[in-house]
Amino acid sequence: MYKYVLKNQSLGNLKRENKRMDEQSKIEKKAPPGKWRVIKVQIDTKEEWLLKDCDTRQEAYGLSQAMSYEKRTRIHIYNDQGGNPYTIGEF
């Protein structure tokens, strides 16, 4: 199974890097210090993708809004203490 990590800040030119992960591994919810982590979850399969570790909350919210158009997905934002202050998507 492959997961994708977005490497570019521009949504128009997102470059993806395949990151091999075994099926049992989960993405760490806690963001690095001072960052906001954006994670996409496929509702039916529970697959997770680390979209980006953002520098500001506003940047994380903007990315989550831009990615929320996809069907059957949820976008979660986590802070550097592992809290989840924001979720968007189909529930």
pLDDT, tens only, 63-72: 999 988 888 8
Q: How far apart are CA 23 and CA 7, in angstroms?
A: 22
User: In terms of Cα–Cα distance, which of 60, 76, 67, 70 is closest to 27?
Assistant: 76
Q: How far apart are CA 66 and CA 62, in angstroms?
A: 6
Q: How far apart are CA 8 and CA 24, in angstroms?
A: 27
Q: Name the pLDDT band for 18 (thresholds 50, 70, 90).
A: very low
Burial 23-52 (b: 16+ CB within 10 A, else e): eeeebeeebeeebbbbbbbeeeeeebbbbb
pLDDT at 6 over 70: no
